[in-house]
Structure 1
């Protein structure tokens, strides 16, 4: 006789797949409407920011997008929330039906609920081999997971340096992050391989950070681009001088860019899916409002 058991995982309020798809599609629509990368996507002065995520590939995404739109002659831009919303609606803080009228509010309780990794969040001991891994980790996927697992070949204590939203979004010709820093933090903390996270990590790895965490290795992906800062400084200069800089092949072909490109190839289908789902959720919330309750909470306009 077999006894089947199941485990239920509650959703994090304000974060849903439909919401993330909406953010991606709106970002693509915005970029397609620009003949050049300007405004918030203009190349920044790196000295004004603490950290930068250098992830190439936006040119390919935009080119593919235009080709797909040309091929789909019957496609007409949606007049739903995707285009009719104001500029602020593309912000990760936008509140839509798919969030059940709520947005994610960073708080210590929610953060601690994500801190239950296999290796545990703790101080490193004298016996630990510390590995520092800087990055953005947007739309946390199997490629990130495989990479972090590979990093454990260098040690047993993994410190992730999580880049800020502003510096990642301001990178030249990049879409910018889809998830906010606080949202990305939850994804990284939930990874069982991670022992600690440096929030808003500096682009240039300083000696003070290496000394504070007693870092034995600094590891990046095999294909990770590490351009010099605007004043010609190598962000990995100090790790290289100490002989602790390493590159690792995750063995996975999945990247954040490839995930977005995959969504782009099925863009029309996703937009139709979102409209249908939003209509159903709007109807449900309207019904709940009539009873003045949503999951035990009062609903407000």
Structure 2
């Protein structure tokens, strides 16, 4: 009798449990139909979804080059979003000497890089406690990034000491082969050599850049051992800078060519306009020999591979032709399926004898050439003139910075990274 009552009770409990579960299930289905966001699947998904990791890197980014670009590429790889602080003109002048490119041009350059998500203007040269708290609290920064080369303030302290103490610091590998000091030094050498060109024993900078004399220093009579380019190009670096985009068969391909020497804000802006005219921007970069023939023996300042990486790093560029021909042929237009050839209104006007042949004759005959009004009146010569006009200040700046770089190279050891 007792066992029968117990069995009946169990059956009633089970039936009640099943009915209750069914009602609850139907209620959830009905509720989800009215408010989908309350679905258990959505709730679980939201719990699992984490906010993006935000990393911060600062710098002067004066005379922007592929070394800066590669540093920012590495920094971006350490998080999901990269926020970049660009140091003010005043702070650069106080800590390093006068900048070659003003803040608004440096902002344009940094903002145009394919790895940068956000830019903070007038960032401090040294990260203070107050600014670090602002980065963490207002900008939601998780980590502060810098290269393996030391950044020492005038008082001898580490510029990133506070970030390291807070446990929010990460390090990347410095890019070999170039620095702003190197580039300014090349221009100073160029100016000195041009004024003493009567001396036949002085080898031209063009030959040094183009034919691999890249591990030497040049005193130039100033006592500031300026490093001449020792960039060692690799196929891996080119792949890292490429966006791997391929133009579709029906894509409108826009082509623009040039030297793109000392890649600057004027280049960025004309590339932005060119990219807006189609689906895919192909950029032709002339050889060192072509640039030298058309702009003089002391050009280019940067060699072909250096110039190619700087252009590839720009978010508006989809592909480059490394060593593009001076004249655009019908075969080239067909091979690359070019729909439109463009060039800007601002160009170099050096005192050399120009070739009378029009490099755009063929695309003009096909009615596929468009001239773009250049947004900025800046050329490579503009940058060089800035150096020349303030020669003594930049010479002193390079002597100070050159000494710290010499110590870095003498004491450096292998660090993994790319």
1:109 aligns with 2:236: yes
Aligned position for 2:7: none
Partners of 1:40 and 1:285 in 2: CA distance: 26
1:79–1:251: structure 2 CA closer, same or farther, 3 Å change rule? same
Please give the secondary structure, in 2, of the residue aligned with 1:197.
strand
Name the structure 1 match of 2:390: 266
| Distance 1:106-1:225 versus aligned 2 partners, 3 A rule | closer
Instruction: Give the TM-score taking structure 2 as reference length.
Output: 0.51
Q: How far has the Cα of 1:179 moved from its partner?
A: 0.8
Closer, same or farther: CA 111–172 of 1 in aligned 2, 3 Å: closer
1:248 aligns with 2:375: no
Q: Following TM superposition, by how much is the alpha carbon of 1:283 offset from its aligned partner in structure 2, in angstroms?
A: 3.9
Which segments of 5 or more consecutive residues in structure 1 lack a partner in the other structure?
Answer: 43-76, 83-88, 94-103
Give the aligned CA root-mean-square deviation in angstroms: 3.0
Q: Is the 8 A contact 2:340 2:370 kept in 1?
A: yes
1:173 to partner: Cα distance: 4.0
Larger Rg: 2
* 2:406 maps to which of 264, 268, 282: 282
1:92 paired residue number? 229
User: Are the structure 2 counterparts of residues 278 and 210 from structure 1 closer, same or farther at C-alpha, using a change threshold of 3 Å?
Assistant: same
Shift of 1:81: 2.5
Look up the SS of the partner of 1:170 in the other structure.
Answer: helix
Q: Distance in 1 between matches of 2:270 and 2:297?
A: 22
Q: In structure 2, do the counterparts of structure 1 residues 130 and 33 end up closer, same or farther at CA, with 3 Å as the change threshold?
A: same
Question: What is the SS of the residue equivalent to 1:217?
Answer: strand
For residues 6 and 216 of structure 1, do their structure 2 counterparts lie closer, same or farther at Cα, with a shift above 3 Å needed?
Answer: farther
Q: Which has the higher contact order (CA 8 A, sep 6+)?
A: 1
Give the corresponding residue for 2:413: 294
Contact kept in structure 2, 1:160 and 1:197, CA below 8 Å: yes
Could you tell me how far 1:169 is from its partner in structure 2? 1.8
Q: Residues 133, 121 of structure 1: CA spacing in aligned structure 2 closer, same or farther, 3 A cutoff?
A: farther
Encode CA deviations 1:161-187: one digit per residue, 9 max, x unaligned.
110011212335463011110111110
Alignment equivalent of 2:196, drawn from 33, 39, 44:
33
Contact 1:133–1:219, Cα closer than 8 Å, also in 2: yes
Q: 1:284 to 1:150 in 2, by over 3 A?
A: closer
Alignment check: 8 A CA contact 1:219 1:245 kept: yes
Partner residue, 1:78 = 222
User: Offset at 1:255?
Assistant: 1.6
Query: Aligned residue for 1:139?
Result: 262
TM-score by length of 1: 0.69
Higher strand share: 2
Q: How many Å apart are 1:281 and its aligned residue?
A: 3.2
Long gaps (5+) in structure 2: 1-136, 147-171, 207-220
3-state secondary structure, aligned to 2:358: coil
Name 1:198's counterpart in structure 2: 321
Partner secondary structure for residue 276 of structure 2 = coil
